Amino acid sequence: MIRPERLKELSLAAILVLTVLLFSLLVEDYISGRIFNRVTTSVVITAILAAAQTLVILTRNVDLSVGSIVGVTAYVTGDYLVGHPDTPALVAVGLAVLLGCGLGVVNGVLVAYGRVPAIVVTLGTLAIYRSWLIDHYGGRTITTDSLPPWVVEFPGRTLVSLGDLDLRAVFVIVVVIVALLQLALGRLRWGRRLYAIGSNPEAAVQAGLPRQRLVFGAFAASGALSGLAGFLFLSRFGTITVVAGQGLELDSVAAAVVGGVSILGGAGTLLGAFLGALLIDVLDQSLVRVEQVSEFWRNAILGTLILVAVVGDVTLGRWFRRRLSAQARPETAEVAQSTTVAVVGDA
Amino acid sequence: MPEALRTRTWELLLAAVLVATVVYNATQSPVYLDVDNFVNLFHLSIEKVIVAIAMTFVIVNGEIDLSVASVMAFAAAVLASLHEGGAVPFAVAIVIALAAATGAGLLQGFIVAKTGLPSLVVTLAGLIAFRGAARVLVEDRSVGDFPDWFRSLGRDEILGPLPFAVILFFVGLVVGGIVLHRSTFGRVVYVIGDNPEVARYSGIDVARVKLTLFGLSGFVAGVAGVLFAARLGSVRANIAEGFELDIITMVLLGGVSIFGGSGSLLGVALSIFVVLNIRNGLGLANVEASVQTGVIGALLILSVLAQNLVDRALALSQHLQDKRGTT
């Protein structure tokens, strides 16, 4: 019997393939190295943020501050690199991740130990982090040419080239991170516990799970991943202003939700969220190439797609469950009967 | 602490903060207590505070509407594109714009009520889609050249020093307060927010109430969008972007629980005045708008945190008393 989350991932992958096929009918020379290169370069930021968001949503919370964390880490790291161009790459990335983690820790403390609802906390820190950034750095802009060259060249780094198809290093790194996190989530105790507290917080606490520590950990991890996304943002765009990353929180929630992560917690996978991010990005990159569709249609189509995805998910899920229970009913009746017998026998 | 007492305490605290802010601001700036400044207080945020009234109903009901700012832009864009087309009189265009916004709200309400999907997800999609619809309608143009009477509606005083939108806000506050706190419908909104299961078993048509509230939210956002167009004198697709967070902040700061079922419109009204006065005071003291936003964000977190800490302190003292009683 195939597990429901696998089914969701498979159907997402199928939709992704269908989307690509559809666009290849609409756009000439669509299937080429170029579209692959563009998608794999641009998806990395939302993919990491979707993973961050998923970790938090699994615990029945939400992190609306990821966009502001991306902005702060991208700008502060960029500013530091302008001042210290000799900084080793690992130190620079570490700085961004640590800074993001620190901001995530603030969220985590307030949600887990202050018992303030996540939407209230992260709505607040969304404003606070951003306003600190604007107040501290004002109208200054970090420009591409003031950054060390390796930062700006990083997104273009290619591991292998097959014809005009380039496998970007940054895409591989992000895929590896998501895969490792997915493994940890599925196999490690920490991961299974995140699902447990998300699907039934009371039962999880009754079972002795450290709910506060787990929620705190999810927010800290989300912050750290957002910090990494901040570094990727810096290296991809090079030109950074104080509004960098604004609105990314909604993109990350959208990717997770399209990817089948339940906003009510306890269900969904990082692989699903990754596919969600990929699907949104493919649409985004492809719609601009369809001549009949003007660029102004982008959000209208994207919003409709998300609605169709979530409504379809619920309706299909219900239909599927009804079918299953209809099939299973004769057996369940038998089982019920035999258990009754067993119980009676015991008595 | 029982919910009603908590709400009362919170209202008192907000009132105290409001008085303190007003007194402080008055000592800091000589123009602060002028009538002009009072109107000015509302001027820049009037559309947000109008939407906050409807948002209070939605959040008390245990839902949320993230799409309001996009629906504002959508209504304004419908109005602008009809005006550009010139096929219908302007007044009819306003009616169609309001109908479109109401339809946007009803559509989302229908999905929430029928599928049981969380409104956070549905209205997030709505946020993206209706902003997209606005963009489809006016693209990257700035549509203006509205009739004179419409523009004067947005800026001229019609009752003493008060412009139309400010009067509408106060009327909305009174009517909203009566409906939420003194009518059967208002009680039903609370009951559903408190426990939808209990509401359903009590024979309340939960789906219908939710549909009504999202329709109301869309309609009010439409009114706010049209008024915003009148005040600005022109419409772009990106107007009101990000307003939803400010609006939700005002409601939550007013002591309305994000989980539904508690809070009062009086609390929200007080929190609106507190937010406006803090912004206004900081503005007069030449503090940047971005920092003002940060201060409001901190207030939002502190408001709930403080309530929690007080609750825990009370529980602790109760616990200690009980212990003393038994030994």
Query: Is the pLDDT at B321 greater than 80, yes or no?
Result: yes
Burial of B30 (0-12, 13-18, 19+ CB in 10 A): exposed
User: In which band, very low, low, confident or very high, does the pLDDT at A343 lie, cut at 50, 70 and 90?
Assistant: very low
Mean pLDDT of the region A116-138:
90
For residues B281 and B28, the answer to whether their CB atoms sit within 8 Å is yes
What's residue A340's pLDDT?
A: 40
CA distances from A40 to A12, A35, A65 (A): 17, 8, 25
For residues B96 and B78, the answer to whether their CB atoms sit within 8 Å is yes
Q: Which of A126, A241, A288, A307 to mutate to test the interface with B (most CBs of B within 10 A)?
A: A307
CA distances from B112 to B104, B109, B121, B270 (A): 13, 5, 9, 30
- The amino acid occupying position B50 is I
User: What's the pLDDT tens digit per position in A231-241?
Assistant: 999 999 988 98
Q: Is the ipTM beyond the 0.90 threshold?
A: no
Query: Cβ separation of B120 and A263 shorter than 8 Å?
Result: yes
Alpha-carbon distance of B252 to A117, in angstroms, equals 11
Share of chain A above pLDDT 90, in %: 40
User: In which band, very low, low, confident or very high, does the pLDDT at B25 lie, cut at 50, 70 and 90?
Assistant: confident
User: What's the pLDDT tens digit per position in B125-139?
Assistant: 899 899 999 999 998
Query: Cβ separation of A124 and B297 shorter than 8 Å?
Result: yes
Quote the minimal CA–CA distance from A6 to chain B in Å.
Answer: 21
For residues A232 and A170, the answer to whether their CB atoms sit within 8 Å is yes
What's residue A346's pLDDT?
A: 40
User: In which band, very low, low, confident or very high, does the pLDDT at A306 lie, cut at 50, 70 and 90?
Assistant: confident
Mean pLDDT of the region A57-61:
93
For residues B256 and B268, the answer to whether their CB atoms sit within 8 Å is yes
Residue with tokens 């901190």: B298
Q: Which of A110, A306, A315 sits opposite B115 (nearest CB)?
A: A315
User: What's the pLDDT tens digit per position in B231-243?
Assistant: 999 999 999 887 8
What's residue A330's pLDDT?
A: 57
Query: Is the pLDDT at A337 greater than 70, yes or no?
Result: no
Q: Which residues of B touch A314 (CB under 8 A)?
A: 115-117
CA nearest neighbour of B132 among A110, A151, A4, A254? A254
Share of chain A above pLDDT 70, in %: 94
Query: Cβ separation of A132 and B294 shorter than 8 Å?
Result: yes
Q: Which of A135, A303, A310 sits opposite B290 (nearest CB)?
A: A135
Assigned CATH class of B3-326: mainly alpha
Higher pLDDT, A338 or A229: A229
User: In which band, very low, low, confident or very high, does the pLDDT at A263 lie, cut at 50, 70 and 90?
Assistant: confident
Share of chain B above pLDDT 90, in %: 52
Query: Cβ separation of B245 and A123 shorter than 8 Å?
Result: yes
Query: Is the pLDDT at B36 greater than 90, yes or no?
Result: no
Higher pLDDT, B307 or B193: B193
Query: Cβ separation of B125 and A117 shorter than 8 Å?
Result: no
Please count the other Cβ atoms lying within 10 Å of the Cβ belonging to residue B114. Answer: 14
Share of chain B above pLDDT 70, in %: 99
Residue with tokens 């999880």: A204
Q: Which of B111, B117, B311 to mutate to test the interface with A (most CBs of A within 10 A)?
A: B117
Q: Where are the domains of chain B?
A: 3-326
Query: Any idea of the CA torsion for B257, B121, A197, A213, to the nearest 10 degrees?
Result: -70
What is the secondary structure of B253-318 as a DSSP string?
HTT--TTSS---HHHHHHHHHHHHHHHHHHHHTT--HHHHHHHHHHHHHHHHHHHHHHHHHHHHHH
Q: Which of A116, A128, A297 sits opposite B304 (nearest CB)?
A: A116
In this structure, of A49-63, B46-60, B298-312, the range with the lowest mean pLDDT score is B298-312
Q: Which residues of B touch A117 (CB under 8 A)?
A: 258-259, 304
For residues B214 and B109, the answer to whether their CB atoms sit within 8 Å is yes
What's residue A331's pLDDT?
A: 52
Query: Cβ separation of B294 and A306 shorter than 8 Å?
Result: no
Q: Which residues of B touch A306 (CB under 8 A)?
A: 121, 124-125, 128-129
What's residue A1's pLDDT?
A: 57
User: What's the pLDDT tens digit per position in B246-274?
Assistant: 898 899 889 898 888 889 999 999 999 99
Q: Which of B288, B291, B301 sits opposite A116 (nearest CB)?
A: B301
Please give the mean pLDDT across all residues of chain B: 89
Query: Cβ separation of A127 and B245 shorter than 8 Å?
Result: yes
Query: Is the pLDDT at A335 greater than 80, yes or no?
Result: no
Which residue from B minimizes the CA distance to A304? B129
Q: Which of A124, A253, A297 sits opposite B136 (nearest CB)?
A: A297
For residues A131 and B289, the answer to whether their CB atoms sit within 8 Å is no
Mean pLDDT of the region A144-153:
88
User: In which band, very low, low, confident or very high, does the pLDDT at A299 lie, cut at 50, 70 and 90?
Assistant: confident
Query: Is the pLDDT at A2 greater than 70, yes or no?
Result: no
What's residue B154's pLDDT?
A: 83
User: In which band, very low, low, confident or very high, does the pLDDT at A151 lie, cut at 50, 70 and 90?
Assistant: confident
Query: Is the pLDDT at A271 greater than 90, yes or no?
Result: yes
Which residue from B minimizes the CA distance to A311? B115
What's residue A161's pLDDT?
A: 82
Q: Which residues from B are below 8 Å from A when comparing CB atoms?
A: 64, 111, 115-118, 120-122, 124-133, 135-136, 139-140, 237, 245, 248-249, 252, 258-259, 288, 290-298, 300-301, 304-305, 308
What's residue B287's pLDDT?
A: 79
What's residue B116's pLDDT?
A: 84
Q: Strand, coil or helix: what is B109?
A: helix
What's residue A339's pLDDT?
A: 42
Query: Cβ separation of A306 and B125 shorter than 8 Å?
Result: yes
Q: Which of A119, A127, A128 sits opposite B258 (nearest CB)?
A: A119
Q: Which of B64, B125, B294 sits opposite A303 (nearest CB)?
A: B125
Please give the mean pLDDT across all residues of chain A: 86
Query: Cβ separation of A131 and B291 shorter than 8 Å?
Result: yes
What's residue A338's pLDDT?
A: 43
User: In which band, very low, low, confident or very high, does the pLDDT at A50 lie, cut at 50, 70 and 90?
Assistant: very high
User: What's the pLDDT tens digit per position in B71-126?
Assistant: 999 999 999 999 998 889 999 999 999 999 999 999 999 999 988 888 988 998 89
Q: Strand, coil or helix: what is A275?
A: helix
Q: Strand, coil or helix: what is A159?
A: strand
Query: Cβ separation of A300 and B126 shorter than 8 Å?
Result: no
